[in-house]
């Protein structure tokens, strides 16, 4: 019997709807052409328009609603009319935390059609960044006092738990183990952050004992930025705390060639909850509505989603078609091309037709 998957589609704001709609067209084409699985996308209208109408970014029963699906495909959230911390906490962080999507996986690879700007990596880069996605600096702990006074104070407390660190560390070692290089770099800042980051180091050393076939090393986050630029080939799988990896993964996307191709997965590795797949980029106000957003980051996110639900073969086939199209020069302006979003969609659909 062909397997069937129910996907929550949450396009959100800005270019989110453009890249999600592009991706649904391509994935539906893939499913129809291969005939090996069925996929059904259900549109969920959460985002800033929803917020303007309902005073909330997501519905009351958002988490239970999402639990009915096998996975979610998300676009972006953020609108010029609403402060970013309201929109981000209202939608994305309202899902990631409560659903315990604690592993944020960001593969970074120099893609056909993109150019790695580093002359230290002539053959491009190929890394997987694993970001702790549920605590650390983004735990939401903190507050503001004496509001409006000259002595106004604000705290942002980074919270790290043994459970939180151990589960992401285990996931990162498993990720590294599954890749040919079997090498993990653990990023902390355990010289100046002498509590939480030291706990990270201790747990890394403990978990490493269970993975004797994985080599690993430690980096302080500041030195890591230098290593990413000067010795990119010495890296493979990288794990770190929420804030550090948020920043390093944007750097990695830039080094790989463009934010327009960078995908991410928000995973619940226990599989109790559906995982959420999204491009790394945001709403991109400057190009919203122009029809030129690069859909490749969302295509790749959907490929990661297919792998996660158990359709690795379909995922590989999707990526092959996308890579062929990029290699043939059908590229959006962020990659120096002149194609629009729909032209890329059409080219990928035609390539799927041709290949399979
Ligand atoms: P951004 O990623 O939206 O845009 C940064 C730059 O990259 C812009 O010049 C944009 O045009 C370009 N870009 C991004 N995606 C592209 C694509 N697919 N194709 C071609 N060019 C692309 O980041 P920015 O400007 O810092 O944030 C804009 C809004 O998005 C803010 O409200 C922010 O909070 C939100 N945001 C949301 C995220 C999410 O939903 N996960 C992630 C990052 C930002
Ligand atoms: Mg970011």
The two tokens of residue 322 are 């996308």
Q: Which CATH class is domain 116-256?
A: alpha beta
Within 10 Å of residue 261's Cβ, how many Cβ atoms? 31
- Region 312-330 average pLDDT: 97
**At residue 258, does pLDDT exceed 90?**
no
- The CA distance from 153 to 247, in Å, is 25
Task: Name the more confident of 222 and 94.
Answer: 222
Question: Chain-centre distance of CA 190, in angstroms?
Answer: 26
Ligand 1 contacts CB of residue 281 (under 6 A): yes
Confidence (pLDDT) at 257 = 82
Confidence (pLDDT) at 1 = 74
Per-residue model confidence as pLDDT tens digits over 179-188: 999 999 999 9
> CATH assignment of 1-101+265-356, given 3.40.50.720, 3.20.20.80, 3.90.1150.10, 3.40.718.10?
3.40.718.10
Confidence (pLDDT) at 102 = 97
Domain boundaries, the chain: 1-101+265-356, 116-256
Confidence (pLDDT) at 123 = 84
Query: Which of 282, 288, 292, 302 to probe ligand 1 with, by most ligand atoms within 8 A of CB?
Result: 282
Ligand 1 contacts CB of residue 10 (under 6 A): no
Q: Are 69 and 305 in contact (CB under 8 A)?
A: no
Confidence (pLDDT) at 122 = 85
Q: Of all protein residues, whose CA lies closest to atom 5 belonging to ligand 1?
A: 284
- The CA distance from 273 to 98, in Å, is 10
**At residue 331, does pLDDT exceed 80?**
yes
Q: Are 94 and 57 in contact (CB under 8 A)?
A: yes
- The CA distance from 179 to 237, in Å, is 8
Q: Of all protein residues, whose CA lies closest to atom 16 belonging to ligand 1?
A: 260
Per-residue model confidence as pLDDT tens digits over 108-137: 998 888 888 888 988 889 999 999 999 999
Tell me if ipTM is over 0.95: yes
Ligand 1 contacts CB of residue 286 (under 6 A): yes
- Asked whether the CA dihedral 88, 91, 97, 100 is positive or negative, the reply is negative
| The ligand 1 atom nearest the CA atom of 15 | 18
The pLDDT > 90 percentage for the chain reads 90
Q: Of all protein residues, whose CA lies closest to atom 1 belonging to ligand 1?
A: 282
Ligand 1 contacts CB of residue 123 (under 6 A): no
Q: Of all protein residues, whose CA lies closest to atom 37 belonging to ligand 1?
A: 282
Verdict on whether the full-model pTM lies above 0.90: yes
**At residue 190, does pLDDT exceed 80?**
yes
Lateral strand order in the sheet of 237-240: 37-43, 3-12, 71-76, 275-279, 263-267, 103-109, 126-132, 237-240, 183-188, 215-220
User: Residue 35: which region, alpha, beta or left (left: phi > 0; alpha: psi -120 to 50)?
Assistant: left
Within 10 Å of residue 151's Cβ, how many Cβ atoms? 6
Confidence (pLDDT) at 329 = 95
Q: How would residue 296 be classed by pLDDT, with cut points 50, 70 and 90?
A: very high
- Region 86-92 average pLDDT: 92
Per-residue model confidence as pLDDT tens digits over 31-79: 999 999 999 999 999 999 999 999 999 999 999 999 999 999 999 999 9
| CA trace torsion 76, 80, 82, 83 (10° rounding) | 90
């Amino acid at each position: 019997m062909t397997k069937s998957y129910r996907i929550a589609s949450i396009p959100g704001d800005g270019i989110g709807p453009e890249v999600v709609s592009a991706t649904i067209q391509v994935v539906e084409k893939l499913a129809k052409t291969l005939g090996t699985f069925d996929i059904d996308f259900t549109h969920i209208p959460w985002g800033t328009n929803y917020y303007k109408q309902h005073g909330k970014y997501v519905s009351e029963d958002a988490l239970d609603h999402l639990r009915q699906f096998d996975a979610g495909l998300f676009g972006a959230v953020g609108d010029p009319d609403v402060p970013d911390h309201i929109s981000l906490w209202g939608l994305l962080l309202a899902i990631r935390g409560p659903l315990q999507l604690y592993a944020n996986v960001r593969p970074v690879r120099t893609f056909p059609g993109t150019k790695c700007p580093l002359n230290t990596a002539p053959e491009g880069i190929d890394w997987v960044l694993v970001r702790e996605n549920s605590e650390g600096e983004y735990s939401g702990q903190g507050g503001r006092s004496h509001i409006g006074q000259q002595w106004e104070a604000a705290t942002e407390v980074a919270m790290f738990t043994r459970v939180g660190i151990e589960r992401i560390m285990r996931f990162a070692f498993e990720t590294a183990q599954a890749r040919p290089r079997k090498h993990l770099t653990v990023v902390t800042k355990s010289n100046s952050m002498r509590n939480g980051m030291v706990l990270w180091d201790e747990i890394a050393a403990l978990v490493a004992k269970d993975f004797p076939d994985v080599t690993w090393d430690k980096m302080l986050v500041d030195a890591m930025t230098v290593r990413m630029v000067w010795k990119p080939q010495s890296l493979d799988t990288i794990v770190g705390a929420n804030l550090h990896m948020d920043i390093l993964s944007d750097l990695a996307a830039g080094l790989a060639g463009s934010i327009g191709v960078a995908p991410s997965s928000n995973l619940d590795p226990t599989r109790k909850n559906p995982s959420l797949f999204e491009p790394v980029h945001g709403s991109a106000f400057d190009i919203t509505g122009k029809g030129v957003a690069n859909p490749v980051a969302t295509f790749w996110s959907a490929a990661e989603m297919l792998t996660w639900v158990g359709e690795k073969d379909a995922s590989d086939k999707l990526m092959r078609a996308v890579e062929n199209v990029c290699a043939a020069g059908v590229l959006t302006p962020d990659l120096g091309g002149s194609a629009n979003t729909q032209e890329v969609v059409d080219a990928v659909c035609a390539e799927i037709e041709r290949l399979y």
